[in-house]
Amino acid sequence: MPVYYVEGDPLLTKAQVLAVGHNARGRTEVDPLHTALQAKYPAAFATYARRCANAKIKTGTLWMWHDSRPQLGFMVVRESNVSATRLRYLEAVALTLARDHALEGIKSVAMVAPGSALEWTALKEVIQRWLAPSSLPVIVYEKYVAGVMAE
């Protein structure tokens, strides 16, 4: 299924899972979207940080929070909140989604573009390579625009 790239507010998505790039230390990411997510889902972020502190979460994994709508998928693609997004970690997450989405009951994913603008070209290739051939519907929010529903 093709991967669609849009601009808008991922918090308004109708997808089953909202996947966001995060770090393996559970530290706060400082950008407007993560601030809004943390304000809306404080229990998810607190639980994630606690599990990271107890070394229960590893890089290259997708950690799911099922107690919200949409469900949150923390894509662990960085070692810390100040480190670069690693292609191999994103590749592992994308492969897991492409391979196991039916097994996990995931029917659709809205993904926030992980990494910085400088990293985006290489990261987009990884997403396209693993998720486009999959039967999983994926929407990637390339640009966060608060309050605007993507088409």
The CATH number for 76's domain is 3.40.220.10
Instruction: Classify residue 151: in a domain, yes or no.
Output: no
Task: Tell me which residue range forms the domain holding 111.
Answer: 3-144
Instruction: Classify residue 150: in a domain, yes or no.
Output: no
Residue 85: the pLDDT is 81
Instruction: Classify residue 82: in a domain, yes or no.
Output: yes
Instruction: Classify residue 149: in a domain, yes or no.
Output: no
The torsion angles phi and psi of 133, rounded to 5 degrees, stand at: -75, -15
Q: What DSSP line would sit under 124-148, residue for residue?
A: HHHHHHHHTTSSS-EEEEEEE-TT-
pTM: 0.91
Instruction: Classify residue 67: in a domain, yes or no.
Output: yes
Instruction: Classify residue 48: in a domain, yes or no.
Output: yes
Q: What is the number of domains present in the chain?
A: 1
Task: Tell me: pLDDT of 112 over 90.
Answer: yes
Task: Tell me: pLDDT of 18 over 80.
Answer: yes
Instruction: Classify residue 128: in a domain, yes or no.
Output: yes
